[in-house]
Amino acid sequence: MPVPRSSNGFVSNTLRRWYWALAIALTLAVWALLALALRPTQDADGSYASRPYGLVTNLENQSLDILFQLRNALRPQLKERGASDPVTIIEIDERTIKASGVRLQKWPRGWYAQLVDRASAGGASVIGLDVFLSEAGGTTSEDKAHDEQLAAAITNAGNVVVASKLEAGGFPAIDPLPLFAEGAYAVGFVDLPPDPDYFVRSTQLSRARAGDSTADANPDLSFATRVAEAHLLTNHLAKNRPPESFYDEQGFKSVEYGAVRIGDRALPLRTDLNLQLDYRNRPPAFRRVSASDLLFNEAAQIPDDLFRDRIVLIGASSVDTDLFATPFSEPHALAILFDRNLTTAPARAPGVEIHATAAATLLNGVALKRPRWVWQAMLLLIPLSLVALAVFGLRALWGFLTVLLVAAGSLAIASWAFNEHGLILPLSSAWLGASGILAPAGFVLRYAHERALRDEKEAERAQVMDIFSRCVSPEVADALWQRRGHISMVGERRVVTIIFTDIRGFTTLSESAQSGEVVTWLNDYFGRMSKIVTAHGGHINKFIGDGLMIVFGAPVDRGDAEEARAAVACGLEMLAEVERMNAQWQSRHANRPLVKIGVGIHSGEATCGVVGAEQRLEYTIIGDTVNLSARLESTTKEKGVALVISDATARLLDGAYEIKPLGEVLVKGKTEKTIVFTVTEDVETTAATTARVGV
C-alpha cells in the first residue's frame, strides 16, 4: 500500500527542510521593503517636499503626533513651556470682532497701528504683524489716513516684521507696499508648508528668490525666522555690541546642507530642508491677550511684563481666518490613557500661533531630528528580529504576546528617545513591519510549516500503520505510533514471548475436503484466534499454513512478566475457543471436522525489526527464541498436553498460574535440554483449564 503524500508535496518538503531559512528570508524581505519605503523620495522638481520620509511619510508623521502628545501626558510640566517662552500673541479673536462691530477683512489699519504702538510702548523686543499689507486700506481719505498711521507706527517702533507670501501654485507673490516695508525691520514670508495629510508639522525657514540665479543671492527668510533674528539682535544691542557683528556671529545662516544656525544654536533640518517644529501644547500654548482689551476696554488689566523684552505677534485667531491642524489637533487614545484630564475636543491652531511656535523652536526649542536613513533602516532590524524570534521560535500564544510586548517596547523607546534627546525614531515603520506585516506573515508561514510537519507525521503514521495494521491490533498499532520516538524500526534486541500454534493433523483433514471448504474452515478459525490475540495485546506476526506465530512484547511491551502472563492467558483462551468452535461446528456444520491445536510458548531475546524490499516491508522477529517456540509446539504431542511453556516463560509467570513440570526435552537444533511445563490452572479463577481443553 503506497504511503499517502500531500498534493503540494514540493511545498511541504520545502517548508519542512528550509523553515528557518524561509523565516530569515521573510524577515529580511520585510526589512528591505520597509527600508526602501522609508527612503526619502524626490519630487519632479528635485525636492523632497511631498515624501521626506519616503512612502511611509504619512505614517511617520502620525506617529510623531503620538510622541508629542505622550510627551505632554507623561511630563505635564512641558505643557507650560509656551508660557515661559518670550512670546506674547495679540489675537484678533471673536471677542475682538464683536467688540469692534467690523468684519476682520474690513478692519481699519488704524487699529493695527494702535496695537503696534501699544506693544512698542510696552517694551517689545520685536513685533510681528501677521497681516498682509499688499494693498491700500481703501480709497477714502480716512482709509489713507489709517494707512499713514500704521506706516508711522511701524517706522517709529523700528522693530516690526511685516508679512509677505511666496509665489506658489501659479499665484503671484504677495509683498507689502513700500509704504509699510520701508519702515519695517524686515519682511518675512508667512507660508506654512503642510504635510501630505494637511497637518503643519514643520516650517520653511528660507527660500531663494524666484528668478535670482546668482550664487550669493540672499534668500527670502520666513516670518518666524525674521522675528527670532530681530529678538536676538535686540538682546545683542542691549549688551552694547556693534550691530555689524551680529549678522556674522548670531544672525540666521545655513552652516551646511541640512542644518542652520541662529544665535548660538545649530538646528538640523528635515530631508525637505524644513525645520521640524517643537510644538508646546494644543492652542493656546503661549501667552495671549485679546486685541479687544487693548483697543476697546480701558478697564482691562494688562500685566506690565506682557510685552517687555518679548516677541509680540499680532494676528487673527477668529473662526473666519485660516486654522491649521497640528500634532495636538486630534487627541490620541494613548495620550488620553496617560492623561485623564486631557481635553478630547479637536483644536486647530491659527497661523499666528504656528509662527510663535516656529520662533520659539528657533530660539530655545528642542532640536528635533531623525537619524540618517541608513541608521533608521538598521534600527528597524531590532524589532523585526525580536518579532521573528518570537513568531518562529516560541509557542503561538507566547509569540503573540511577545509581538505585543515588542510593539509596546518600541513605543516606550521611541518616546524616551524623543523626550530625552529630541530623536525621532521610525516608530510607525517599526509597528508596520513588526506587527502589521512580519507577525501576520510569520504566523502564516509557521502555520504552513506546522501543517507540513503534520502531513509528514501523517505520512509516517500511514507508513507505520501500513506495516502493522495487518499484523497487530488497532490498539497496538496506535501504541506503536504514540511511542514511535522510543521504538527502533531498524532492528533491536529485546525480550519477547512467542506463541506457536498448529492444527494437529490438518493435512489429513484437508485431503478429504474441497479446497473452498478448507479455506472457509481456516478463515473461521483464524478470525476467532485473531480476536483473542488482539484482546490480549499480542499480534499475529505470521500465518504459517494452518499455524500461527504470535508475538508478545514487540514492537511495544508492557514489561517482560506482563507479556509472558498475557501470552499464557492468550494460549489458554485459544484452546478454550477451539472447543467452543468445535461445538458450534458440530451443531451447525456436520461436515466440518473436529480441530485440535497445540500451543508452544517461550520467552527470550530476539531480534526485532522491519525487513523486506522497497515495495514490500514486514515487521519480523528472528532468533533462537523463535526457533525454540516452534519446537515447543511440536513437543505438545510428545508430552500429551495441549500447551507447553519453557522454563524461561515459567519464571516470568511469577505464580500467576499453577504449572506442572513435564521434564526435560531436547529440541531439534539444540545441544542443551530445555525444561518444559504445562499450565494446569489460572490461580485467579476456579475453572480448571484442563477440563476445557483436549489433547
Residues 437 and 335 in one domain: no
pTM (two decimals):
0.70
Same domain, 98 and 247: yes
pLDDT, position 687: 40
Q: What are phi and psi of 314, to 5 degrees?
A: -110, 120
Distance between CA atoms of 87 and 74, rounded to whole angstroms? 25
In 433-561, at which residue ranges do the beta strands (DSSP E only) sit?
A: 492-503, 539-544, 547-552
Tell me if 667 is assigned to some domain.
yes
Same domain, 672 and 614: yes
Predicted local distance difference test score (pLDDT) of residue 4:
43
Q: For residue 402, which phi and psi values (nearest 5 degrees)?
A: -65, -35
**In the prediction, which pLDDT does 469 show?**
60
Please check whether residue 63 lies inside any domain of the structure: no
pLDDT at 382: 95
What are φ and ψ of residue 254, in 5° steps? -80, 130
Task: Give the per-residue pLDDT at 597.
Answer: 92
- Asked, for residue 279, whether it belongs to a domain, the answer is yes
CATH of the domain at 489: 3.30.70.1230
Within a domain: 66: no
Rounded to an integer, what distance in angstroms lies between the CA atom of residue 218 and that of residue 220? 7
Range of the domain at 546: 469-691
Going by C-alpha positions, the residue among 463, 689, 424 that lies closest to residue 579 is 689
End-to-end CA distance of the chain: 41
- Residue 657: HSE in the Cβ half-sphere, 13 Å Cα cutoff: 31
How many Å is the Cα radius of gyration of the chain? 49
Q: What angle do CA 477, 480, 484 make, to 5 degrees?
A: 145
Strands 323-324 and 349-350, sheet pairing: antiparallel
Residues 333 and 314 in one domain: yes
Backbone angles phi, psi at 232, to 5 degrees: -65, -35
What is the reported pLDDT for 200? 95
326 and 450 co-located in one domain: no
| CB atoms near residue 145 (< 10 Å) | 15
Residues lower than pLDDT 50 in the chain? 1-7, 214-216, 684-695
In terms of Cβ atoms closer than 10 Å to its own Cβ (0-12, 13-18, 19+), residue 291 is: buried
Burial 601-611 (b: 16+ CB within 10 A, else e): bbbbebbbbbe
Does 256 fall in a domain?
Answer: yes
**Considering Cα of 143, then 149, then 152, then 156, what sign does the dihedral take?**
negative
Residues 431 and 496 in one domain: no
Encoded amino acid at 512, one letter: S
Backbone phi, psi, residue 596, to 5°: -125, 140
HSE (CB half, 13 Å, CA atoms) of 565?
Answer: 15
Q: For residues 294 and 616, what is the distance between their CA atoms, to the nearest angstrom?
A: 105
How many structural domains compose the chain?
3
Give the per-residue SS3 of 586-626: HHHCCCCCCCCEEEEEEEEEEEEEEEEECCEEEEEEECHHH
In this prediction, residue 539 carries a pLDDT of 87
Q: Using an 8 Å Cβ cutoff, are 68 and 332 in contact?
A: no
241, 134: one domain: yes
Which amino acid type is present at position 489? Answer: M
Tell which of 396, 428, 457 closes a domain. Answer: 457
- Full DSSP string of 428-463: HHHHIIIIIIIHHHHHHHHHHHHHHHHHHHHHHHHH
Q: How far apart are CA 580 and CA 584, in angstroms?
A: 6
CA distance 142 to 148: 10
Cell output for 111: 487699529
CA atoms of 394 and 404, how far apart (whole Å):
14
Q: What secondary structure letter does DSSP report for 488?
A: -
Residue 391 sits in the same domain as residue 282: no
390 and 403 in contact (C-beta within 8 Å)?
Answer: yes
Q: Let me know if residue 69 belongs to a domain.
A: no
Note whether residue 71 is domain-resident.
no
Helix (H) or strand (E) holding 62: helix 57-74
Boundary of a domain, candidates 364, 396, 425:
364
Do 336 and 445 fall within a single domain? no
pLDDT at 689: 36
Pairing of strands 186-189, 349-350: unpaired
Strands 616-622, 597-613: pairing kind: antiparallel
Please count the other Cβ atoms lying within 10 Å of the Cβ belonging to residue 509: 17
CA distances from 537 to 179, 473, 497 (A): 112, 7, 12
Is there a single domain that holds both residue 397 and residue 439? yes
Q: Residue type for 360, please?
A: A
Final residue before a domain boundary, out of 364, 390, 408: 364
Cα atoms found within 13 Å of the Cα of residue 476, Cβ hemisphere only: 25
- Please give the single-letter amino acid code of residue 265: R
212 domain residue, yes or no: no
Q: Which of helix, strand or coil describes residue 79?
A: helix
- The cell for 461 is 503514521
Distance separating alpha carbons of residues 533 and 475, to the nearest angstrom: 12
For residues 420 and 484, state if they share a domain. Answer: no
Q: Provide φ and ψ at 410, rounded to 5°.
A: -60, -40
List residues bridging with 661 in a β-sheet.
Answer: 677
3-state class (DSSP) for residue 342:
coil
The position carrying cell 507566547 is: 398
Q: Which three cell numbers stand for residue 528?
A: 476467532
What sign does the CA torsion over 428, 433, 437, 440 have? Answer: negative
The DSSP call for residue 289 is E
- CA–CA separation, 51 and 195 (whole Å): 9
- The grid coordinates of residue 464 equal 507505520
Rounded to the nearest 10°, the torsion over CA 583, 585, 589, 590 is -50
User: Are 140 and 266 contained in the same domain?
Assistant: yes
Task: Decide if 155 contacts 129 (C-beta within 8 A).
Answer: no
Give the residue from 187, 130, 126 showing the smallest Cα distance to 158: 126
